Amino acid sequence: MRRVIVAATLGWALDAFDFTLFLFALPELQKELQFDKSYSGLIVAATLICSAVGGVLFGVLADRFGRARMLAVTIVVYSFASLASASSQSGAQLMFWRCILGLGMGGEWATGATLVAESLPPERRNRALALMQSGWALGFILSALAAQWILPTFGWRWLFALGVVPAVCTLWIRHGVPESAVWIASRQQASGPVTPLKILLGVQYRRTFLTATAMVSCVMFGVWGFFTWLPSFLGTPKSEGGAGQSIFKSTNWIIALQSGAFVGYVSFGFVADWIGRRRAYVIYVMATAVMAPIFVATAQSAHPEWLLLVGPLTGMFGHGHFSALAPMLSELFPVEIRATAQSAIYNLGRGFSAGAPYLIGILAQNFGFTVPLVLASGFFVFAAIILRFIPKPHSS
């Protein structure tokens, strides 16, 4: 089972690495390809919409052809899309390749999370899936370090080209990672073709599906609205509504924040085992709603060095709650539709949240970052409220 956890964690980390390279390259991209903050937000929004499409697509394929196989395919898709992004000569070309990256990005989480959930007993899922989720923080930190080293000397094209590296790990996944035994047994017992989407939208699971999608949509709106723009917010001059940090300082603050995110991802599993998954989820998202405005105020204050304390706490709560989603969603649906359900809910939520980066970009273009970032954090409160309406788990 160790190989399964390593493969899913590595896939999610490299997914984060490829996606977040774009966030650090934004100022250079805007200058060279000549587009503004609103178009930048539109590119991120298009990527997230395509991730929703990719999530549903690869979820259905994972239920039909296997979790491990589709995990490898999704990594290949987003890796080569990152490489192709390096050849972009215009904002439109860049958007096209980021959309292809979104397809792979959307499918990777659900295939990896489902594989881990089905490979472990219920009592070990919280911690195992929390560890898998921590891969996002590791990938974000790696992209920050890569941007700090590559951008000033080699430029954004070489930074994107580095994104092809994850494709190498698919060779190991295809030959060294076992397929889900639960999925194999389910396929052998099936009397005929399974239509996951039809079952998912049927009377029995419709309420669960819609309520869970609403909750994930709210939390995703808050996350993508707030965290997408942090590198740009930190690096934008104060006269333009930013924090006025240099590229070196801003990436260091991001590394501090993502270090806290790693602790949040991992700690959530232990907190959930201690006080219960749902209660832990509410604590984490409500704490995020409080910490996000404090982070913005601290970054713009006369003492930004306090971000070394505020940043990790914001990252810890602002990302740690994601560790609840994989075990929570996996237990709401039976195995024959599990990958489709998880992928559809997670990525439809991410698709809904696509409006957040675009909206924040437009508002930041006209009014600066402060108010839009604070407003985005309010969606975490809505997520906590909706959770209470989600039915109890279907099975272990």
Residue 247 buriedness (CB in 10 A; 0-12 / 13-18 / 19+) = middle
pLDDT digits (tens, 9 = 90+) for 136-172: 888 888 888 888 889 888 999 999 998 888 777 776 7
* Within a domain: 395: no
* Within a domain: 394: no
One-letter amino acid at 65 equals: F
Other C-beta atoms within 10 Å of 233: how many?
25
Q: What is the pLDDT of residue 252?
A: 72
Which whole number is the average pLDDT over 169-181?
Answer: 72
What domain range includes position 311?
2-387
* Within a domain: 396: no
pTM: 0.72
* Within a domain: 282: yes
Other C-beta atoms within 10 Å of 75: how many?
29
One-letter amino acid at 172 equals: W
Is 50 exceeded by the pLDDT of residue 326?
yes
* Within a domain: 35: yes
User: Which one is predicted more confidently, 195 or 323?
Assistant: 323
Cβ neighbours of residue 3 closer than 8 Å, sequence gap 6 or more? 176, 177, 178
Q: What is the pLDDT of residue 199?
A: 63
Buried b (16+ CB within 10 A) or exposed e, 190-209: eeeebebeebbeeeebeebb
Q: What is the pLDDT of residue 83?
A: 92
* Within a domain: 393: no
Tally of domains in the chain: 1
Other C-beta atoms within 10 Å of 272: how many?
24
CA distances for 356 relative to 19, 254, 349, angstroms:
16, 20, 12
Question: Which residue is it, tokens 């924090």?
Answer: 243
Closest to 38 (Cα-Cα) out of 372, 351, 318, 376: 372
Q: What is the pLDDT of residue 246?
A: 60
Q: Take residue 280 and report the two structure tokens written for it.
A: 């832990």
Buried b (16+ CB within 10 A) or exposed e, 42-67: bbbbbbbbbbbbbbbbbbbbbbbebb
Rounded CA separation 104/351 (Å)? 14
Contacts 24+ apart (CB under 8 A), 89-93: 89/33, 90/33, 91/33, 91/34, 91/35, 91/39, 91/43
Closest to 149 (Cα-Cα) out of 5, 10, 252: 252
Q: Take residue 203 and report the two structure tokens written for it.
A: 């009377």
Q: What is the pLDDT of residue 393?
A: 65
Summary mean pLDDT of the chain: 82
pLDDT digits (tens, 9 = 90+) for 88-144: 999 999 999 999 999 988 888 778 777 877 777 776 777 777 888 788 888 888 888
Closest to 73 (Cα-Cα) out of 169, 4, 184, 142: 169
Is 90 exceeded by the pLDDT of residue 325?
no
Look up the CATH number of the domain holding residue 139: 1.20.1250.20
Cα 210 → chain centroid: 20
Which whole number is the average pLDDT over 200-222?
Answer: 85
* Within a domain: 30: yes
